[in-house]
Structure 1
Amino acid sequence: MELTYSEVGATRGVMPTGYHHVDRRVPIGRGRPAYRAACAALMSWEMHRGSGLSVKSDSTSAELGSAVALRLGPIRIPCRVVYTVDEADRAGFAYGTLPGHPERGEELFLVEYDDSDTVYAHIRAFSRPGRWFTRLGAPAGRVVQRMFTDRYIAALKKSAMP
């Protein structure tokens, strides 16, 4: 299936106009063990499960090209991983929306480690309504997006705890 937006990879830099933007970076722990644990939770889809979503993927970890179908109750949320990040102090992935997703756009999930021994969860996204019900309920969609961003961060923070 084709992605439902054309700005693939834009969460790496300047995000496109005409979309709602999210950019949150929050400390979630300290030390290399916390960093490694948070990376493992992120890349194995555990962050998504820990946020209350069910996860079905064609791979056990987030890899370039992996398809994942998230589910929130009756709502199916299909995505594909469009790029990954695997650096000494940053790891994560971005996925883009597929047909049937309530939104159109991309979301980047990173775990970062800095010189002060702090571990961060960093989430960047751009999106706009992709279905009739999300167009009608756009303000409620922003509330749900904020709620899930908070849940993702909480799940990563929990995974980074000793």
Structure 2
Amino acid sequence: MLQSYTEYVKRYGIAELVFRGPSEGNPFAEQWVKGTMAGQAEEKHAEGFYDGNGVYKLRFMPSCEGTYEITAVTSWGDEAKVTVEVSAADENCHGPVRVANTYHFAYDDGKEYYPCGTTCYVWELQSKETQEKTYESLASSPFNKIRFCVFPKHYV
């Protein structure tokens, strides 16, 4: 049964449908939710996911403004057809990053993107205090991407 859905979303935001379904057995492998989001300028297909406690979610990110129709079906027989209104994106939201001109990057709306990253080593073995300090320093840094090294390093 469709429990809720996003009626209004901004461009590059998340439109979400939430279903109640079976929780018996292994819902991660035995059940599914699939949907199509169709607007005037694009059509997207997606598979949903099990979120626990009998809750299944299906999400889309609209790339254009306007009215979209989302149709969804589930393995347990539920269906839904809803309309979502998409308004303009926030001023600083430019969409996902894509390859541009073979060797460069740009946001979906065409604004150039320059990746600048750092690495956090042995994150899961750091103290909570060190992790908090790292969060604070990253918040004011120029980095727009981060990678984590999960394997322990051996230092002398």
Question: Going by fraction, where is strand more abundant, 1 or 2?
Answer: 2
Structure with bigger RCO (C-alpha 8 Å, 6+ apart): 1
- Fold agreement, TM-score > 0.5: no
The structure with the greater share of residues assigned to helix is 1
TM-score using structure 2 length: 0.30
Q: TM-score, normalised by structure 1?
A: 0.29
